[in-house]
Structure 1
């Protein structure tokens, strides 16, 4: 299948880290397959390409929120979980009936209530917006 998101995700390294994208910033196909062998679910194309582009880049994988490593992906409540906030108040995921969609809608669960709510955007939209918010809007606050 043709790459749809890989270059866009790779472009985040020079955009936000002011460095060229390096092979070590991502996971190879074999590394990703090995890690995903522990997951009992397919993953959407967009998440696969996200890991191939940025799975080894801690500065982005742990920027404000924490993206799960591929082997940590899990299914709960009918959702494939991929992201968690620092205080573990929220978790983000995809509905499992949407995993074949190349770029599915992201949902957020408030852990205390167990209620899922749509973020009203796809993974690629959500991630690009999140990094823009973290690096462009929060940067002055994080430096203090």
Structure 2
């Protein structure tokens, strides 16, 4: 499959960090395969490209929310979990039955209630919107 999302994710580095993207920002294909072999899960194409673009960049992997490293990915409640908020109140994932969809819909679980709800957007939409919100908040804090 051709790169569908890789350049969009790479473009976040100059957009928000005012720096050029470089290979050290992402995982290598071998690092990603090794991590996935440890977690023993399959991932959607979009998540693969996200890790290849930004998987080593803590400014994105740990920006208010924490993206799981490939070896930490797991399926729970019928969802592949990939992201958690810093207070561990919520976790985000994809339906395990939708992992073959290149850019699946994201769902959020309220950890206290154990209920899942749709974010009504695909992973690429969700992450691009999330980073826009995070970096706008950071810029506003710096202005104060």
TM-score range, shorter chain: over 0.9
RMSD across aligned positions (CA): 1.2
Task: State how many pairs are aligned.
Answer: 144
Deviation at 1:64, TM superposition (A): 1.2
Distance 1:117 1:106 in 2: 9
Cα offset for 1:142? 6.2
Match of 2:30 in 1: 30
1:108 aligns with: 108
1:121 maps to 121
Secondary structure, counterpart of 1:4 in structure 2? coil
Aligned twin of 1:91 = 91
1:77 corresponding residue in structure 2: 77
Instruction: Write out the 4+ residue segments of structure 1 that deviate beyond 4 Å after TM superposition.
Output: none
Q: Sort the Cα spacing of 1:14 and 1:115 in 2 relative to 1 into closer, same or farther, 3 A.
A: same
- Normalization by structure 2: what TM-score? 0.96
| Higher mean C-alpha deviation, range 82-91 or range 34-43 | 34-43
Q: Is 1:9 aligned to residue 9 of structure 2?
A: yes
1:63 aligns with 2:78: no
Aligned counterpart, 2:43? 43
Give the TM-score normalised by structure 1. 0.96
Unaligned runs of 5+ in 2: none
Stretches of structure 1 lacking an aligned partner (at least 5 in a row): none
Q: What is the alpha-carbon distance in structure 2 between the residues aligned to residue 142 and residue 70 of structure 1?
A: 32
The separation in 1 between residues aligned to 2:141 and 2:97, in whole angstroms, is 39
TM-fit CA distance, 1:138: 4.3
Q: What do the CA deviations read for 1:59-102 (whole angstroms, capped 9, x no partner)?
A: 11111111011111011000000000000000000000000000
**For the residues of structure 2 that align with 1:11 and 1:131, how far apart are their CA atoms?**
12
SS of the residue aligned with 2:38?
coil
